[in-house]
Amino acid sequence: MPSHDQKINKLFYYWLLLSLFLVFAMIIVGGLTRLTNSGLSITEWELFQGILPPMNSQEWEEYFDLYKKIPQYILLNNTMTLSEFKTIFYWEYYHRFLGRIIGIFFLFPLLYFYLTKKINKKYIFICFIILLLILTQGFVGWYMVKSGLINNVTVSHYRLSLHLIIAFFIISIIFWLILNVKEKTYNNFFLLIKDNYLFYFLFVLVYLQIIIGAFVSGLDAGLIYQTWPLMDKTYFPNDVNINSFTDYLDFNNHGLVQFIHRNLGYLIVLYVALVGYIIFIKNLRKLFKPFYLVSFFIILQIILGILTLISGLNIYLASSHQICSLFLILSLVNLYYHHIK
């Protein structure tokens, strides 16, 4: 019969799994909120008041009137009906509601596990880092929304990328902790030894691609050059003027951002092939299956990215592209974990 300590450790493990699922769902809903241009439908920061959606016609009119005051409505959606507003409202509402659920679900069980003193202290320390990131994410979310309420019809793509990358950090850390708990050990992610740098650089490339992908989404840069493999009829976008090196860093330029996103994807494919070559040359059999998984999601991600582009940004393909990026980063974490364990 399992002891009390074993039951608590098992409960801790399943709590982490459910937390991973909730964050995964949160990122998907967040992506759909962006894809449906729903993120500015709630124009106020309602930490407690907005827990429930509008319950009557008067409350709906109040929310709709607030939305009518921002540039997105005035310049883009001034013919929107209340019924249409409810659609975009609920996407943002569910996004915020899920954020509240994650915060509560992570906070109170963590306090319980901390007070029982039955869980590895290193695990608890990592959980408090995750909690800090979750709380930070809430403020960053509002910081992002604010950028689209006064002078812009959409949110800042820089703030959007910050919001997204924090979410990916959270889910990556939770998954790393789950792997440790499952193996009943504690492998530190940051072991600065020669063999690990091969994987660190891959993480840098993938996380950088996530940031650039957020730029593409935030700028709606996928709406131009909807052809592949060329951008219209050229490799480099013909509407981008380069006069100095700093022009390559103009992340407000739609064509340039899409060009970077495409070519960073190619670079990642080549680098993954290099990682695979090293794994097989060294006959690292324990990494074969994890590497196959990474390769599968890399190929699927490229295919979904191309289909999303040439389909005219079909929302289902675009969402699938983002979901695949989640599986890709988790498979990469899994690969690296098996490398160091």
Residue ranges per structural domain of the chain: 1-186, 189-341
- What is the rounded end-to-end Cα distance, in angstroms, of the chain? 30
Peptide bond into 229 cis (omega under 30): yes
Q: Is the dihedral of CA 179, 182, 183, 187 positive or negative?
A: positive
Q: Token pair for residue 88?
A: 């975009």
Residues with Cβ within 8 Å of 226's Cβ and at least 6 positions away in sequence, in order, are 309, 310, 312, 313
Around Cβ 320, how many Cβ atoms within 10 Å?
20
Q: What is the reported pLDDT for 2?
A: 58
User: The whole model's pTM is what?
Assistant: 0.94
Residue 38 or 2, more confident: 38
Q: How far apart are CA 291 and CA 296, in angstroms?
A: 9
What is the model's pLDDT at position 314?
93
**CA–CA dist 261, 167 (Å, integer):** 20
pLDDT on residue 3: 67
pLDDT tens, position by position, 206-221: 999 999 999 999 999 9
Q: Mean pLDDT in the chain?
A: 93
pLDDT tens sequence across 35-75: 999 999 999 887 777 788 999 999 999 999 999 999 999 99
Report how far residue 17's alpha carbon sits from residue 23's, in angstroms, rounded to the nearest whole number.
Answer: 10
% of the chain beyond a pLDDT of 90: 82
The pLDDT, as a whole number, for residue 242 is: 86
Q: Mean pLDDT across the stretch 281-289?
A: 95
How far, CA to CA in Å, does 12 sit from each of 74, 97, 285? 49, 24, 31
pLDDT of residue 279: 96
Sign of CA dihedral 202, 204, 205, 211: positive
Rounded (10°) CA dihedral 20, 23, 28, 30: -170
Nearest to 105 by CA among 25, 188, 33, 7: 25
Residue 1 pLDDT class (50, 70, 90 cuts): very low
- How does 28-50 read in b/e, with b if 16+ C-beta sit within 10 Å? bbbbbbbbbbbbbbbbeeeeeeb
